Amino acid sequence: MPIKDIHEFITELENNGELKRVKTEVDSNLEIAEILRREMYSKGSAILFENVKGYDMPVLGNAFGSMKRLEIGLEMTDFTEIGQRIVDMTKMDIPSGFLNKIKKLPELSKMASSFPKTETSGPVTEITSTDASFDDLPILKSWPNDAGRFITLGLVATKHPETGIRNLGVYRMQVIDKTHVLMHWQKHKRGAHHGDISKDRGEKIPVAIIIGGEPATIFSSIAPVPEGLDKYLFAGITRKEGIKTVKCKTIDLDVPANAEIVLEGYVDPEDIRDEGPFGDHTGYYTPAEPFPTFTLTGIMRRKDPIYITTVVGKPILEDAYIGKVIERSFLPLIRMLHPEIVDYSMPAAGWFQGLAIISIKKRYPGQAKKVMMGLWGMGQLSLTKTFVVVDDDINVHDMNDVIWAITTRADAARDTIIINNTPTDTLDPASPLVNLGSKMGIDATQKTKEDGYEREVQQLVKVDDETKNLVDSKWSDYGL
């Protein structure tokens, strides 16, 4: 049975030596964050803080802070399986004849089992109230110059106001008072898009903030899934079993039944206030920018909820590992749309939107630029500032190999493209304007006459078979 909630996840992490418990009293104001960061920078454990000053609720951090923990949470070791399942579904033809239908039944039922199932109650409905306050939650202040306390791992549920397709996104929220937070959904993200549509209709948008849920649901909220795909379904595809949902009490939204806490309310797109500064995953404080306000109307929670959180800062912290799994899981989908792509890497030090290296099996001149242009038009990859395209003999995960390709196969004037005034990641500290900056593409593939390269392509240095076999056969004699 796939892991169904944070309680089970903690048990699994503990059984695998991936979780430590802290029983000493700790402060949600700065102290917990510093402990979590130190533990992450030293490649340490997930931590459950059992004694948080002023709160009766434990705090869990660094829960996804290693590949092992993600393997445990998502119950797989090869994360490309996730994207492959979606690719397989798109290839599934609906069989016509009776016999074909029978043959395809196992595949069809596999797909059906990933759909979310609505329940009338669940663990999260144990306590429901309209008398809710953000002050009851051990929400962290992470960095000394943060504008206040921020919810950092809340799954923000919205519904497309026209199509009704459900979404979950992890957007941070700054607490302003007992019943208000500022919703930092960046302009390019789906939550903000739903908010904009509601604004055009002159409506407030119902929003639920979910703490906890299946590890796969948390992962799905961060994953940049293709437009039109329900994130609850994506969570079910990831864990090979549909998640259970329940209805909110004060708004018309479905939420995971196995969550720890659900904070119900609405975002008023007309009520805009300054959010930040916040010590961000770029390693800098993102300055205050205007974002809309969320108003709390009710709470659903377990009797014994666990508050899950994360801290960000200069890479490499917890989000780097989640990003790596996203990179791996989306490879099959990217290859489906751009079949020449062999592999890609988004190094964590480049906070993911800063740099991507893509290897291709090149067949025609200009193909590297074609790939760059395609990816700059694709979902959140459109926000990536720098692309480096290399041939398929280069290992995109080995920076030495990549630097060798750039410095031996790219000519700065011929192979670099700069495109100005493009959408950029909201958090990019270097772009001239928030959300608008430039792209750089480096074509580090081998050039030939077809590319206008008139020189002879130089031969790669390589040992001959005879010498190789001789040294192989005598290797043990050398005393090395």
Contact footprint for ligand FMN (CB under 6 A) = 152, 167, 169-172, 184-186, 189-191, 222-224, 310, 312, 319, 322, 380
Q: For residues 13 and 64, what is the distance between their CA atoms, to the nearest angstrom?
A: 10
For ligand FMN, give the closer residue by CB, 186 or 422.
186
CB of 189 to ligand FMN, least distance (A): 3
CB of 20 to ligand FMN, least distance (A): 21
For ligand FMN, give the closer residue by CB, 310 or 359.
310
Strands 307-308 and 59-61, sheet pairing: parallel
- Residue among 280, 415, 428, 451 flagged as catalytic: 280
Structural contact between residues 351 and 420, judged by C-beta atoms closer than 8 angstroms: no
CB of 401 to ligand FMN, least distance (A): 28
For ligand FMN, give the closer residue by CB, 47 or 312.
312
CB of 238 to ligand FMN, least distance (A): 14
Q: For residues 151 and 133, what is the distance between their CA atoms, to the nearest angstrom?
A: 13
Other CB atoms within 10 A of residue 223 CB: 24
CB of 227 to ligand FMN, least distance (A): 9
CA atoms lying within 13 Å on the CB side of residue 4: 12
CB of 90 to ligand FMN, least distance (A): 19
State yes or no: is 200 an active-site residue: no
Pick from 273, 295, 272, 325: nearest CA to 65: 325
Q: For residues 211 and 173, what is the distance between their CA atoms, to the nearest angstrom?
A: 12
Element (H or E) spanning 453, and its range?
none
For ligand FMN, give the closer residue by CB, 72 or 389.
72
Strands 289-301 and 180-183, sheet pairing: antiparallel
For ligand FMN, give the closer residue by CB, 95 or 287.
287
Q: Where are the beta strands (DSSP E) in 287-340?
A: 289-301, 307-308
For ligand FMN, give the closer residue by CB, 321 or 410.
321
Q: Which long-range contacts (CB under 8 A, 24 or more apart) does 86-93 make?
A: 86/226, 86/229, 86/237, 86/332, 86/333, 87/332, 87/333, 87/336, 89/237, 90/336
Active-site residue set: 280
